[in-house]
Amino acid sequence: MTKKHLGGIAAAMLALLLVGAGCSGASTPSPTAGTPSAPSANTEPTTPTAETVPAAEAVTVAISNFAFSPSSVTVKQGTTITWKQEDSVPHTVTGDTGGPNSALLKKGESYTYKFENAGTFPYHCATHPVMKGTIIVEKQ
């Protein structure tokens, strides 16, 4: 064989090696849109959504991570709402302009209030005013 033939064979082998390396499957495939991903390890408190929950007779609002969840609830007149205190620090349920007015609630305690009148009732935690919620009471 001549040097010219050896050079061509070497070039062909190098090309095959490069193509083979690109097709080896050694790279990690990217996830597809339908593939579920593992939950994140984020431990930051979550902000509750302003979702509106329709209700009939009774509703429970959790007090957790320095937030009311759900933060907005829509109910009919005569509905009873119970706030369940799940935080390690005490909180209140205090109506901005009347309505619910709990004592300081410790972890594991709850407060119940029956909404007899239609209207919008914003409320907050008296010790943590950034905690806010809204109850919307519709006529029967």
The pLDDT, as a whole number, for residue 58 is: 82
Cβ 100 vs Cβ 109: under 8 Å: no
The pLDDT, as a whole number, for residue 75 is: 95
pLDDT in tens, 22-71: 444 444 333 333 333 333 344 444 455 555 555 456 899 999 999 999 99
The pLDDT, as a whole number, for residue 49 is: 52
User: Which range marks the domain in which residue 81 is found?
Assistant: 52-138
Structural domain contains residue 72: yes
If one compares 9 and 120, the residue with the highest pLDDT of the two is: 120
Q: For residues 85-111, b (16+ Cβ closer than 10 Å) or e, as one string?
A: bbbeebbbbbeeeebbebeebeeebeb
With 70 as the cut, is the pLDDT of residue 10 above it? Answer: no
Structural domain contains residue 37: no
CATH number at residue 69: 2.60.40.420
How many domains are there within the chain?
1
The pLDDT, as a whole number, for residue 80 is: 95
Structural domain contains residue 14: no
